[in-house]
Amino acid sequence: MMRRLKIVVMLGGPSAEREVSLKTGRAAAQALAAKGHQVTEVDALPGQWKLPAGTEVVFLALHGTYGEDGEVQRELEALGVPYTGCSPAASALAFDKVLTKQKCRERGVPVARDHIFHNEGEPFPNDWQLPVVLKPVRQGSSVGLHFVTLPEQWAESLKSSLQHGSEVLMEERIEGRETTVGILDGKALPLVEMRPKKGGYTYANKYTPGATEYFCPASFSNSVSEKIQEAAVGAFNAVGGRDYARVDVMVRDDGSPVVLEVNTLPGMTETSLLPKAAAAIGLSYEDLCEKMVELAMKRAPNVQK
């Protein structure tokens, strides 16, 4: 049994994913309070938040900018307070899809072919074929994601994606099955497969109730499951991950995995994908939240564990 702790759940923040973060944070706060901890919620607005006196550990429930990009982690490091999840450097790296892919390629982790755009009006490259996927380089939760299947969709899709950042990543559209791999304490959890009822796994399909079906454990053969998990752990290690994350992986029809991105602060409502994967090994939502705190407390100086 973990001793009773004074925990701050940092939630909300300034990003495009604020509403999702509020749901994650409130659910985590309830779970940790149910385990007997003294929990305070703090809205992480830059320059405005302050930790209560006696805070022993911070549970990060932030998504997007000023959460997954390493900024709030750097501020917490300066305060000397342990927090859940990855380091500032790993968070910043994983938040940048281009840098993540570079690190993955260096480690031999399979990723999709890509091209980067900076300006509206740039033409579709002659050496590419549709369909393709457009996504902002530094956003999460499928914000600004567009599937381009027809030439007439190109200009508007590129313009829309560029509204969420100065760089847009174009990738080949991988045909196959959409999966995600939860990582906990450096180890892969059972696979979750996402099957949108219409279209791809967009922001709308991710957060509209009933728009997507989920299967955990996903129905792959043992050998294919192991390859997917191996690729996910490889990506996690490539960005310098620690404690936990969630790695999105497309699986081609031949069973070969293609890593899409590493989420260092994945959604943590009770119905989110990482809790689904943890539940498949018998770890309840409350126990998962407390496990994340336990991993963070291992970095706490001079604290009774």
How far is C-alpha 85 from the geometric centre of its chain's CA atoms?
A: 11
CATH number at 93-110+176-264: 3.30.470.20
Sign of the dihedral through C-alpha 163, 240, 202, 115: positive
pLDDT at position 174 over 60: yes
User: Is 286 among the catalytic positions?
Assistant: no
CA distance 288 to 226: 23
Is 50 exceeded by the pLDDT of residue 303? no
What is the residue extent of each domain of the chain?
6-84+285-297, 93-110+176-264, 114-172
Tell me the Cα Rg of the chain: 19
The angle subtended at Cα 175 by Cα 174 and Cα 177, nearest 5°, is: 100
> For tokens 């890509």, what's the residue?
114
Catalytic residue, chosen from 171, 243, 261, 270, is: 261
- How is residue 188 written in tokens? 């892969």
Q: What's the average model confidence in pLDDT over 124-142?
A: 89
Active-site residue, from 15, 87, 91, 141: 141
DSSP 211: S
- What percentage of the chain has pLDDT greater than the value 90? 84
93-110+176-264 and 114-172 share one fold:
no
Mark whether 290 is an active-site residue: no
Q: CATH number of 6-84+285-297: 2.40.160.10, 3.40.50.20, 1.10.3720.10, 3.40.50.300?
A: 3.40.50.20
Catalytic residue among 67, 225, 267, 272: 267
Quick check: 13 and 43 in contact, CB under 8 A?
yes
Residue 263 falls in the annotated catalytic set: yes
pLDDT, tens digit (0-9, with 9 covering 90-100), for 79-93: 999 999 999 999 999
- What is the CA angle 296-298-302, rounded to 5? 115
Q: Is 248 a catalytic residue?
A: yes
Instruction: Map residue 17 onto helix, strand or coil.
Output: coil
Residue 107 known to be catalytic: no
Q: In the annotation, is 171 catalytic?
A: no
- Does residue 126 carry a catalytic annotation? no
241-276 per-position pLDDT tens digit: 999 999 999 999 999 999 999 999 999 988 899 999
Q: Which of 12, 15, 17, 157 is catalytic?
A: 17
Strand partners, 114: 171
At residue 153 the predicted structure's pLDDT band, cuts being 50, 70 and 90, is: very high
Active-site choice (66, 71, 246, 270): 246
Place of tokens 């994983």: 94
207 is catalytic: yes
For the domain made up of 114-172, give the CATH fold: Dna Ligase; domain 1 (3.30.1490)
